[in-house]
Amino acid sequence: MNFLRKPEGRSGSRRKGPAGKRLLETLASAFVVGITSRLLIQLFALVQIMMASRFFGLAEFGAYALAWACAMIFAAFMYTGYYQALLRSRTPDEDRNTVFTVMLATGALAGLVLLATGTLIVEYQSLTSQICLAFAVLPLLDAVVAWNDVHLLRAARVRTASLINAAAEALATLVLLLALREGLGAMSLVLGRYTAVSLQLVLTSSVVRRLPGLALNPEVLRRGWPTAVPLWASTGAGMLTNYGIDLILGAFLNPSQVGAYRGGARISQTAADLIQQPLTMLTWSRFSRLDKTGRRHRIRHYWRVNMSFAATAAWPVMLSVALMAEEIVTVVLDESWLPAAAVIGILSLMRAVRILSMHLEPTLVSFDRQYQLLKIRLFGLSLLMAAMFLYGRSGAVEAAYAQLFTVIFMAGVTLTTASAILKISPRDMLRTFLPGLAVSLLCGGFILATEPFRSEAGPAAGLFLTLLGVAILWCCAVALALAKRMLRWPTP
């Protein structure tokens, strides 16, 4: 079923050359390097949670999660808005210093917010307050990293950016381990974050080799405004959707519930980000280049290529995590974290559905529909907040269900929007996701069929052997789909 035809202007024949050379080219491709780097990053993130679960409980992790939510909500604005305006710019030399100034100002504002937050809540959540204050400098460092990062994407150096992120997370994990052994508790996670961003700063600066400057050109601000403002608003809505739940649980309940929710979210996110993050980087790079070169009509093809691969790669993984959530918590974390198991299962299904919306931003921005994107994001945020206040604020599990129901509804909105803009028929939409559905059913059926075996083998052995079997099935199915041209490797 060769429904993903080659893009226009290329030969339909297979690339000639020795099999070994083709294999090396595939292994060195931006997507494979991105996937491998993201796998390492997520493994390091999982190891960090495993280490943390051995040294402190859900309440301490929840205090860290509240402060990290504040940091992420505000710092994320540096990676959108004028970030995308510079990525799409046809006059980068003129724009870059003004964009850096905007990023630095955003980082400074985020730092001030963290300082204010830490000061205001000092009487009520002392650990959360300390971590907010400790994070106050981090956005300033991240501003330089974001400026370097957009230059790497403009140059289509996705592999370099991916490898740098993996190296940063590896060093952060080592520092976290040493800090935990010194008895620093949840503050060890803060040291790990500073270590990661500092190494990113050094490595990206050494690769980009372009010192940022301070400038504030009104013309540059004006040109980037139509792109930046809707994306900033959209990002704010998206970040509140992701992290606002932590704040609501912290306000109405206690850090333990925040820890249960964010611990479950971290495990499910580990599996989802393996595919979503590198593919999102590739998509922004590809769609922006097609937009700049006047080839928007090609976006439809690459949307289908990337979404088909994302669903086939991510859905079986997320379904597997959902079906074995309790065993994963027991073996990987600690039994004291079992309240997070139900959250892991629900949020894994939520992230599988969210894959359907992962290309919404690059698609709408490439077609200059930023305000439509803003409306969709704000509607999704309003829907989630309503679900949270009516139902989700009761606990971590209820919050997870509120997010699942919201994401299901918004996935329908996203697919309807993409179909209209890209002119994708219902039949082509179904064919895009058919490989993902088939592989998911195969892996899910295997897990259900081997449940008696896991009970006899014990938690650790049963989990390991089942995951090994799922991995073999997944690899064989994806390899077959690639060989039969049902899937194609995404490219930047």
pLDDT at 378: 84
Q: Give CA–CA dist 134/185, Å, rounded.
A: 14
* Of 71, 387, 396, the residue nearest 250 (C-alpha): 396
Residue scoring higher pLDDT (395 or 349): 349
Report if pTM > 0.75. Answer: no
Collapsed DSSP state (helix, strand, coil) of residue 458: coil
Q: Are 259 and 56 in contact (CB under 8 A)?
A: no
pLDDT at 55: 81
pLDDT at 9: 39
Most confident residue range from 83-97, 131-145, 335-349, 374-388: 131-145
* For range 262-283, the mean pLDDT: 72
Q: Give CA–CA dist 108/317, Å, rounded.
A: 38
Kindly report the three-state secondary structure assignment for every residue of 159-217: HHHHHHHHHHHHHHHHHHHHHHHCCCCCHHHHHHHHHHHHHHHHHHHHHHCCCCCCCCC
Q: Give CA–CA dist 196/166, Å, rounded.
A: 9
Residue scoring higher pLDDT (467 or 65): 467
- Does residue 201 carry a pLDDT above 90? yes
Q: Give CA–CA dist 195/190, Å, rounded.
A: 9
Residue scoring higher pLDDT (99 or 19): 99
Q: Give CA–CA dist 204/364, Å, rounded.
A: 29
Tokens of 83: 């970030």
Residue scoring higher pLDDT (409 or 90): 409
Average pLDDT, the chain: 81
Q: Give CA–CA dist 130/66, Å, rounded.
A: 11
Among 5-14, 332-341, 359-368, which stretch is predicted with the lowest mean pLDDT? 5-14
Collapsed DSSP state (helix, strand, coil) of residue 118: helix
Q: What are the helix and strand counts (H, E) for the chain?
A: 20, 0
pLDDT at 334: 67
pLDDT at 18: 56
Give residue-wise pLDDT tens across range 49-61. 778 777 877 778 8
